[in-house]
């Protein structure tokens, strides 16, 4: 990738590259494109029309994608003050921590349904597989909580280091033009 995306075509090309990673991990193509665009572009919030324009797709395509992305918690839906337009945005404070580490509700659901099966099934291989499922989900939930704590500490250190480095850079060269 060039040091800086020079125009909208470069941005769209990069959106497609990033979206391919998400598609390969199981996300629907249009949802991956919308998520990638919002991740990469500089605006804080986007209407469906802005997303459609930015990606050069129809509003209908955007509608399905934002419905999926809000449903799984990757986008937040709100309103711009003084308008009736729905807007969408990422959790900018912790994009990837939110996506990767905040899985407790789904892990609880897996565990609870598995435990229902353990209680309902007679002794046997199926029951043991469900017990293992419940145990694994509880283990992963605990591990993710510990990872969340380590990630928050790591982010705090990075912010401190970058804050000091940015202050030093700005003192030498003035404000930087960043992607």
| Tokens at 14, concatenated | 């990069």
Predicted confidence band of residue 176 (pLDDT cuts 50, 70, 90): very low
How confident is the model over 29-74, as pLDDT tens digits? 999 999 999 999 989 999 999 999 999 999 999 999 999 999 888 8
0.75 exceeded by pTM: no
User: Do residues 69 and 124 both lie within one domain?
Assistant: no
Last residue of a domain, one of 32, 55, 89: 89
| Tokens at 143, concatenated | 């591990």
User: Do residues 107 and 140 both lie within one domain?
Assistant: yes
Which residues have a Cβ under 8 Å from the Cβ of 62 and sit 6 or more positions away? Answer: 30, 34, 48, 51, 52, 55
CB of 76 closer than 8 Å to CB of 89 = yes
| pLDDT of 7 over the 90 cut | no
Last residue of a domain, one of 48, 63, 89: 89
Instruction: Report pLDDT for 166.
Output: 73
Residue 2 domain-assigned (yes or no): no
Predicted confidence band of residue 160 (pLDDT cuts 50, 70, 90): very high
Number of domains the chain contains:
2
Mean pLDDT of the chain: 87
Question: Which domain covers residue 37, as residue numbers?
Answer: 8-89
User: Do residues 12 and 85 both lie within one domain?
Assistant: yes
The residue-averaged pLDDT of 91-101 equals 78
The residue-averaged pLDDT of 66-89 equals 90
Predicted confidence band of residue 4 (pLDDT cuts 50, 70, 90): low
Predicted confidence band of residue 171 (pLDDT cuts 50, 70, 90): low
CB of 55 closer than 8 Å to CB of 18 = no
Last residue of a domain, one of 62, 89, 116: 89
User: Do residues 83 and 111 both lie within one domain?
Assistant: no
Instruction: Report pLDDT for 167.
Output: 65
User: Do residues 118 and 57 both lie within one domain?
Assistant: no
User: Do residues 57 and 122 both lie within one domain?
Assistant: no
Instruction: Report pLDDT for 97.
Output: 82
Supply the CATH number for residue 53's domain: 1.10.10.10
User: In angstroms, rounded to a whole number, what is the distance separating the alpha carbons of residues 68 and 74?
Assistant: 9
User: Do residues 124 and 81 both lie within one domain?
Assistant: no
Q: What's CA 84's distance to the chain center, in Å?
A: 25
């Amino acid at each position: 990738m060039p040091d800086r995306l020079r125009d909208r075509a470069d941005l769209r090309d990069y959106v497609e590259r990033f979206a391919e990673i998400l598609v390969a991990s199981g996300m629907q193509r249009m949802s991956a494109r919308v998520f990638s665009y919002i991740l990469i572009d500089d605006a804080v919030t986007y209407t469906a029309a802005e997303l459609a324009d930015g990606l050069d797709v129809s509003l209908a395509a955007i509608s399905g994608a934002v419905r999926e992305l809000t449903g799984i918690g990757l986008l937040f839906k709100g309103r711009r003050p003084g308008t009736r337009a729905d807007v969408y945005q990422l959790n900018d404070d912790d994009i990837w921590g939110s996506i990767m580490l905040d899985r407790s509700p789904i892990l609880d659901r897996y565990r609870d349904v598995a435990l229902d099966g353990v209680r309902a099934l007679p002794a046997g291989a199926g029951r043991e597989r469900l017990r293992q499922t419940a145990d694994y989900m509880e283990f992963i939930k605990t591990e993710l909580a510990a990872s969340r704590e380590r990630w928050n500490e790591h982010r705090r250190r990075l912010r401190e280091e970058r804050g000091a480095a940015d202050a030093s850079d700005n003192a030498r060269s003035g404000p930087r033009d960043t992607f």
